[in-house]
């Protein structure tokens, strides 16, 4: 670009006449009869030959309408840049010598970059109908106005398609100039937003020979990706596709997405040769969408009648560009603007600066609500036309099929944008839709989008050369071959892939110590290995380095410790309950008896009698309910309610006791000083682990166990010896390792067992580089192995467990705790409390009825205290009496009172009679 700018400066100033003067002369044109405009593009190009006729037609239509420019006429000067950026720059200077107020063009983005520098200096707006380079919209080119769609939106549409079909990598095949490089850069940015990428960039030299194109495509064929995005000019694009078909790059499995240049050719050329049509079969291309209108149909009919070739969409934008400029000039005149130029003494007499260029530029950008052949025209704040829409087209046979639309409003859709604009925007993945596609090779099934490169290289697959548990993976002695469970799963999954994979297994480790798996996985990130096969646990930290397949085995961490058989003794029946539970249960039994006695004592003869008998009844009744053998019948509704709850409590308690005791005396005969991982952490005993694997990091980083307590072990024999020796003899109290390893270890060692529950569930998977498509296909193959049963058969072949290892996962018998029954205790206690309160209120009510209070006599405090004591003794005596006796005595007292009252009345009548007499 620096050379281009220097060249521009040399051309502009080569005709300097006098560099010593600094004066300037103003020349003003007031209300001119003509307004000079220019057009700069390549007449012989596919776009240029259409644009030439469209621009001339638009100028004619503008000049025939006096309302547009208020009587002024547009004077158009057409210049042919003939595909040359240098020639286009020279011709732009020629247009500026004629006091041109605006230039339509340039056509090519490379020329626009050059001419934009000149336009900035002379303040002359450039209106390009075909320069789609996204970088031309930058603040560096304030006088550049794009009247067509930027490639930024086209690349957004391509990125959405790549994501829609589930591809991850694409190859960018492009012309190596400003147009191609900047378009591909925009594509890379949009793909990154979809978590996709350009895996390989294949630049083409502008106007490159067929041999050069062939060399580029041969190199491209060695890449894994089969999704190709072709971004070039229409002049050489068909040649590239022809070479691609010749090299077999248009066969099934490939995807070709071509930018909108292809449909410009299809719209313009009346017929393509049969070879050319064969070259573009199965291609997906884009086309700028222009809505149907009466104005557009009228123009196209006129075009067909007068023009021997077709009308492409760039011709429509060229026509509208003239009208945009004309309306801006008309508004310029309405605002009182005058076209004037200033001569600069640094330039020749023929070079002048357009004084009102900024005002005209503002009017161009502000042209709104104009309906052109391409639809409503309106610029956004970035200077781009609003509401960009592309048609997505699949070339099939001798024609084409529209498979959908793309808009920045709703993404991919089979509905036209006019319908979508009436709904709220929806870019969700479920709302993205396209019709079916016929891909290269006449395939209707969506291509996978990648394949192994055909460059003769083998995949370098790292395999841990472990020294412990060779059942999983190990190297065959004196060979470079590996076998084991992991290797068989890997090869079985490869056999299910629809393509062949060339690979070689490379051992990692010295064969004497287990290698660190994290070090092996890091070598994948440096491209030393292309993948890794082994017993790799899928952890969060490792997923940041590589991509794992679907887990082919589930595992978890477990604690393994020595066990001993429990010998039964005379007190074994006490083991089901803890001491705390025994104590609380023993207290509740007499409490239950006391509560029932209180509720039944006053109405039930079974709960009455001498004190010794009543105490015996309480104890007998409460403990006999344990066997549901109590003989005393309850009469009170309250006592029956309490008894029902108590019997339910006893039923639950005895059932759990029986089950626990049965388990202790029959099934579970094993015990260990280590109960679970928690008891192991709280102790100070040493812990064994397998060197280099997941358990080591988990014990240190997650469980915060001091490194001094951890003992690395390198073999199954070392495991056995350390566990047998124990902490007192320099061994370990337990070993923490993954369950898959421990099942193999325990299959022949019955003196050890898994203690407690497993924890930290994980899975094993094969490792591949990030975003590797092979990881996805291998995951699918592993799922197929699981579904058809092959995965289990491979497991049984290498990891079949003997009867010894199936003694049980849980060797610890959990004694029943008080906390397991606190709910029952609480319910029964609450029922007793409620029953007692109801009973107490009933007693008080009866006492108040049958023993009404007498008026207290006023006296000394000592006499009042004595009276209260007497009343308390009376109440206690009342509670202890049978309820029937109380009722009978109360009835008798009422009768006595009634008879006394009657006697008094008789005496009163007799006395009265005597007095009368």
Model confidence pLDDT, tens digit, residues 189-209:
999 999 899 999 999 998 889
Determine contact, residues 143/171, Cβ cutoff 8 Å.
no
Q: At what angle do helices 357-365 and 313-334 cross, to 10 degrees?
A: 120
Residue with tokens 């248009």: 250
Q: How many Cβ atoms sit within 10 Å of the Cβ of residue 405?
A: 23
Q: What percent of the chain has pLDDT over 90?
A: 45
Model confidence pLDDT, tens digit, residues 644-655:
787 777 788 788
Model confidence pLDDT, tens digit, residues 679-709:
888 888 899 998 778 888 888 888 888 888 9
- Could you tell me the CA-to-CA distances from 430 to 168, 190, 195, 284, 391 in Å, in that order? 19, 20, 18, 22, 20
Residue 812 pLDDT level (bands cut at 50, 70, 90): very low
CA distance linking residue 34 with residue 57, whole number of Å: 17
Model confidence pLDDT, tens digit, residues 611-667:
777 777 777 776 777 666 666 677 777 777 777 787 777 788 788 777 777 766 654
Half-sphere exposure in the Cβ direction for 571 (13 Å, CA): 3
Determine contact, residues 181/216, Cβ cutoff 8 Å.
no
Half-sphere exposure in the Cβ direction for 703 (13 Å, CA): 23
Residue 514 pLDDT level (bands cut at 50, 70, 90): confident
Return the pLDDT at 229: 97
User: What is the pTM for the complete model shown?
Assistant: 0.68
- Phi, psi of 709, rounded to the nearest 5 degrees: -85, -15
Strands 352-354, 370-372: parallel, antiparallel or unpaired by DSSP? unpaired
Given a cut of 50, is residue 19 above it in pLDDT? no
| Cα 500 versus chain centre, distance | 32
- Phi, psi of 177, rounded to the nearest 5 degrees: -145, -170
Return the pLDDT at 239: 94
């Amino acid at each position: 670009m620096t050379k281009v700018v220097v060249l521009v400066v040399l051309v502009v100033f080569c005709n300097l006449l006098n560099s010593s003067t600094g004066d300037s002369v103003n020349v003003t044109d007031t209300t001119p009869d003509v307004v000079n405009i220019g057009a700069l593009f390549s007449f012989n190009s596919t776009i240029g030959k259409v644009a030439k006729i469209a621009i001339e037609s638009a100028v004619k239509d503008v000049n025939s309408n006096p309302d547009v420019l208020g009587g002024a006429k547009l004077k158009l000067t057409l210049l042919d840049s003939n595909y040359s950026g240098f020639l286009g720059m020279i011709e732009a200077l020629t247009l500026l010598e004629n006091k041109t107020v605006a230039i339509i063009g340039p056509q090519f983005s490379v020329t626009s970059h050059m001419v934009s520098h000149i336009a900035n200096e002379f303040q002359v707006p450039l209106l390009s109908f075909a320069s789609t380079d996204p970088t031309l919209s930058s603040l560096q080119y304030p006088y550049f106005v794009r009247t067509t769609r930027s490639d930024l939106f086209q690349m957004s549409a391509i990125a959405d398609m790549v994501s829609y079909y589930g591809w991850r990598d694409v190859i960018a095949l492009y012309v190596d100039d400003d147009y191609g490089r900047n378009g591909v850069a925009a594509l890379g940015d949009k793909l990154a937003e979809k978590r996709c990428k350009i895996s390989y960039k294949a630049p083409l030299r502008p106007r490159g020979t067929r041999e050069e194109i062939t060399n580029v495509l041969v190199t491209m064929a060695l890449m894994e990706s089969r999704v190709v995005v072709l971004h070039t000019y229409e002049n050489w694009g068909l040649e590239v596709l022809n070479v691609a078909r010749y090299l077999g790059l248009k066969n099934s499995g490939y995807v070709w997405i071509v930018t909108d240049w292809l449909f410009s050719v299809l719209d313009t050329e009346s017929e393509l040769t049969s070879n050319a049509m064969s070259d573009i079969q199965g291609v997906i291309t884009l086309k700028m969408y222009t809505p149907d209108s009466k104005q557009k149909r009228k123009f196209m009919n006129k075009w067909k009648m007068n023009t021997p070739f077709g009308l492409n969409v760039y011709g429509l934008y060229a026509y509208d560009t003239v009208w945009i400029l004309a309306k801006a000039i008309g508004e310029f005149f309405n605002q009182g603007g005058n076209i004037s130029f200033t001569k600069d003494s640094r330039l020749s007499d023929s070079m002048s600066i357009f004084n009102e260029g900024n005002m005209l530029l503002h009017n161009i950008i502000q042209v709104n609500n104009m309906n052109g052949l391409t639809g409503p025209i309106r610029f956004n704040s970035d200077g781009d036309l609003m509401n960009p829409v592309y048609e997505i087209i699949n070339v099939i046979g001798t024609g084409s099929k529209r498979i959908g639309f793309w808009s920045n409003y709703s993404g991919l859709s089979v509905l036209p944008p006019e319908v979508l604009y009436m709904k709220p925007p929806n870019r969700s993945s479920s709302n993205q839709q396209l019709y079916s596609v016929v891909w290269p090779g006449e395939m209707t099934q969506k291509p996978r989008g990648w394949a192994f490169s055909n460059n003769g290289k083998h995949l370098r697959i790292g395999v841990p050369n472990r020294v412990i548990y060779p059942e999983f993976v190990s190297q065959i002695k004196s060979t470079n071959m590996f076998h084991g469970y992991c290797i068989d799963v890997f090869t079985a999954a490869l056999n299910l892939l629809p393509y062949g994979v060339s690979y070689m297994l490379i051992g990692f480790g010295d064969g004497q110590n287990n290698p660190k798996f994290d070090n092996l996985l890091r070598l994948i990130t440096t491209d030393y290995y292309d993948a890794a096969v082994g017993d790799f646990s899928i952890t969060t930290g490792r997923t940041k380095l590589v991509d794992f397949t679907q887990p082919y085995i589930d595992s978890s961490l477990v604690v393994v410790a020595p066990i001993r058989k429990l010998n039964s003794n005379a007190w074994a029946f006490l083991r089901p309950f803890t001491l705390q539970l025994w104590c609380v249960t023993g207290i509740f039994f007499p409490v239950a008896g006391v509560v029932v006695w209180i509720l039944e004592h006053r109405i039930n003869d079974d709960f009455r009698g001498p004190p010794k008998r009543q105490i015996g009844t309480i104890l007998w009744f409460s403990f006999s309910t344990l066997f549901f053998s109590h003989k005393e019948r309850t009469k009170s509704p309250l006592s029956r309610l309490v008894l029902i709850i108590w019997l339910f409590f006893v039923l639950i308690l005895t059932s759990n006791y029986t089950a626990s005791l049965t388990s202790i005396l029959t099934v579970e005969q094993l015990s260990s000083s280590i109960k679970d991982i928690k008891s192991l952490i709280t102790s100070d005993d040493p812990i064994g682990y397998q060197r280099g694997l997941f358990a080591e990091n988990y014990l240190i980083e997650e469980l915060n166990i001091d490194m001094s307590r951890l003992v690395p072990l390198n073999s199954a024999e070392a495991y056995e010896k350390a566990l047998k020796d124990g902490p007192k003899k320099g061994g370990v109290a337990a070993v923490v390792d993954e369950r898959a390893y421990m099942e193999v270890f325990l299959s022949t060692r019955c003196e050890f067992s898994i203690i407690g529950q497993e924890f930290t569930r994980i899975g094993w998977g094969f490792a591949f580089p990030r975003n590797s498509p092979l990881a996805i296909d291998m995951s699918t193959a592993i799922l197929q192995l699981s579904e058809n049963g092959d995965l289990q058969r491979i497991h049984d072949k290498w990891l079949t467990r003997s009867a010894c290892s199936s003694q049980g996962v849980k060797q610890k018998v959990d004694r029943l705790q008080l906390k397991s029954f606190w709910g029952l205790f609480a319910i029964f206690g609450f029922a007793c409390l409620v029953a007692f309160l109801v009973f107490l209120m009933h007693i008080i009510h009866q006492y108040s009825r049958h023993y009404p209070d007498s008026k207290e006599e006023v006296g000394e405090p000592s006499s009042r205290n004595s009276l209260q004591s007497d009343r308390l003794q009376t109440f206690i005596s009342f509670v202890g009496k049978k309820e029937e006796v109380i009722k009978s005595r109360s009835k008798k007292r009422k009768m006595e009172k009634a008879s006394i009252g009657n006697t008094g009345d008789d005496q009163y009548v007799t006395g009265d009679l005597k007095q009368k007499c």
